[in-house]
Amino acid sequence: MQFTGITALARGRGANALLTGILTVASYIVLEFGLIVLLPKGENRSLIAVAAAWTWIALVFIFVRFVVGGGMPKPDSKWNCSQCRYLNDASSVICEACQQPWKSPDKA
């Protein structure tokens, strides 16, 4: 799981990829360094801070994946954009290449 993965996912969900990326990186840094400062001194302090920061990233990932764009029609599998033929992932509700929303083939 990487920051680029989150921004790509956010773009596919119709969210602002740049904003999602910046917020994710910023919150990660704040959490990791904030916890190192706040936690009582101990051998595991930096380990706990890193673990907490990655847990947060995982939560953001889950939020973007399941909540953002949740009200939009969803594809069941990988799909080709009707406009530019780009092969999109099943998690994308809009085309990653041209931002065209996914349309159900039944309704087209």
**# residues contacting Zn ion (CB under 5 A):** 8
Contacts of 88 (CB under 8 A, 6+ apart): 12, 75, 78, 79, 80, 81, 95, 96, 97, 102
Contacts with 28 (C-beta within 8 Å, 6 or more apart), sequence order: 53, 56, 57
Q: Rounded to the nearest whole angstrom, what is the least distance from the CB of residue 12 to Zn ion in the complex?
A: 11
Answer yes or no: are the C-beta atoms of 99 and 92 closer than 8 Å.
no
Which of 23, 25, 36, 97 forms a contact with Zn ion (CB under 5 A)? 97
Task: Indicate the residue among 64 and 81 with the shorter CB distance to Zn ion.
Answer: 81
Binding mask 46-85 for Zn ion (x = CB under 5 A): -----------------------------------x-xx-
**Site residues (vs Zn ion, CB under 5 A):** 81, 83-84, 86, 95, 97-98, 100
